[in-house]
A and B are shown apart, each in its own frame.
Chain A
Amino acid sequence: MQQIINFIIRNKNFLLFLLLFFIAIVFTIQSHSYHKSKFINSANFVSGGVYNSVNNISEYFNLKSQNQLLSEENNRLRELLFNSEIDDDSTYFDSISQNKSYRFSTAQVIKNSYSATDNILLINKGQNNSIRQDFGVITTKGIVGIVDKSSSRFSTVISILNTTNSSISAGLKKTAHYGSLRWNGENPQLVQLIDVPINARINIGDTIVTSGQSSIFPKGIPIGAIQDFKNDVAENFYEINVKLFNDMTNLEHVYIIENIHKEEIENLLNE
């Protein structure tokens, strides 16, 4: 017994090092698996508060480009509104509003990251604004990611620029062929679309949109355009490089999408 205690005292530095290193590795491995990182996330009071106050100042620096983006979006929506076929007279009854299935809300990105291989963003809305896990996040130009953890005032978002966690179903705009969206961790402007069957006819420049196969994103949200493509090793599927419409390095105003029927869909799928 004496010897064991002596051994521990003599090697206490090494044992402490091993213990702490092991704990850190466990945290790392947890963060590499989807929805497992329980403790270590920035959606807490301290780090959220720090990022929020920093963002209060730094948001002024890109007001101009953000205003430009928002006015472009306003312009696009106005065009849709005035060119729509719907006659806005008193007998008209908007049946779409009766069974709408997506609810939108706005948020601001207070911490953006794109230089790591597993990028996670922080937004300034949380459970108080009924933001929950697995809500989709988009901008005016395209998709951003999926909500992961929420505290009462902040939420973390798994960016599409994330090599381990992200697997979003996406496909071609013109046909119904779809695959899953990945990122190889290298260029923040290029993501990879894999598992698109080889018999799909694709061309450089084709638009890639969300496929609506998952219950997170509605169908048809723009993602990017095909930059180049090649066949994979087994020659059954394409590997496509997609150039994002979104500038992931300049994110400020985002929209959060909630699928109201999500629970129903998932219950059905799990039965």
Chain B
Amino acid sequence: MNSAITGNIIRFIALVLVQVVIFNHINFYGYINPYIYILFIAFFPVKDNRTTLILISFFLGLSIDIFLDSGGIHAAASVFIAYIRPVLLKSSFGTMYEHQTIRFSGIDLGPKIVYITLLVLAHHLILFSLEIFSISKIIFILQKTLFSSIFTILLSIIISVIFSKNTK
């Protein structure tokens, strides 16, 4: 139990640092940056408490916000996806989730891609809506959401494949 908590703390700090030091300076095509820190929320153990996840997500988003001077946009988006995560889990993994037997290390790539895609799209839509904060620029919001999502999804899948433990 203790090693799980230590692992989560290390993952938290590592993802925040990697995000602010490397992935925020990519600025591909001028403004496209991947936000891979949400992998923490995506692969948080399912059987752990949901309330804890919502709280941790808030602090994860807030630490990114402090580094990026962006108010509370990352905190809001992170809390949102932490709250809707069970719905997404159910729709991407179906019965596996119902029986609480799901472990992220042992699942197929197909459902994993669907799950990450849904999570990233939800996160980025909230993020960029709050960042731009104006309904008249809805096209710009959608454009930023789409391009950044593609980038984030690709990187997330690559990272999750590299770091997944092969326990089959």
Flag whether B50 is at the interface (Cβ < 8 A). yes
Quick one: given A54-B21, A185-B132, are A26 and B50 in contact (CB under 8 Å)?
no
Chain A residues with Cβ below 8 Å from B130 are 25, 28
Quick one: given A50-B67, A116-B68, are A17 and B27 in contact (CB under 8 Å)?
no
Set A17, A164, A186: member contacting B79, Cβ < 8 A: A17
Chain B residues with Cβ below 8 Å from A17 are 54, 79-80, 82-83
Establish whether residues A47 and B76, one from each chain, have CB atoms under 8 Å apart when the complex forms. Answer: no
How many Å lie between the Cα of A118 and that of B72 in the bound state? 13
Of the stretches A34-42, A100-108, A133-141, the one at the interface is A34-42
Flag whether A177 is at the interface (Cβ < 8 A). no
Majority DSSP secondary structure for residues of B touching A? helix
Set A12, A156, A186: member contacting B51, Cβ < 8 A: A12
Establish whether residues B75 and A156, one from each chain, have CB atoms under 8 Å apart when the complex forms. Answer: no
Q: How far is the CB of B128 from chain A (nearest CB, A)?
A: 9
Which residues of B, 27-79, contact A by the 8 Å Cβ criterion?
27, 30-33, 50-51, 54-55, 58, 61-62, 65-73, 75-76, 79
Q: How far is the CB of A120 from chain B (nearest CB, A)?
A: 4
Flag whether A31 is at the interface (Cβ < 8 A). yes
Establish whether residues A116 and B131, one from each chain, have CB atoms under 8 Å apart when the complex forms. Answer: yes
Quick one: given A12-B51, A16-B54, A20-B58, are A40 and B31 in contact (CB under 8 Å)?
no
How many Å lie between the Cα of A32 and that of B73 in the bound state? 11
Establish whether residues A24 and B76, one from each chain, have CB atoms under 8 Å apart when the complex forms. Answer: yes
Establish whether residues A40 and B79, one from each chain, have CB atoms under 8 Å apart when the complex forms. Answer: no
Set A28, A114, A117: member contacting B72, Cβ < 8 A: A28
Set B17, B24, B71, B72: member contacting A50, Cβ < 8 A: B17
Tell me the nearest residue of chain A to B137, going by C-beta.
A185
Tell me the nearest residue of chain B to A119, going by C-beta.
B69
Flag whether A113 is at the interface (Cβ < 8 A). yes
Flag whether A44 is at the interface (Cβ < 8 A). yes
Establish whether residues B131 and A42, one from each chain, have CB atoms under 8 Å apart when the complex forms. Answer: no
Tell me the nearest residue of chain B to A114, going by C-beta.
B27
Query: Which 7 residue pairs spanning A and B have beta carbons closest together?
Result: A31-B71, A27-B72, A24-B76, A24-B72, A120-B69, A24-B75, A115-B31
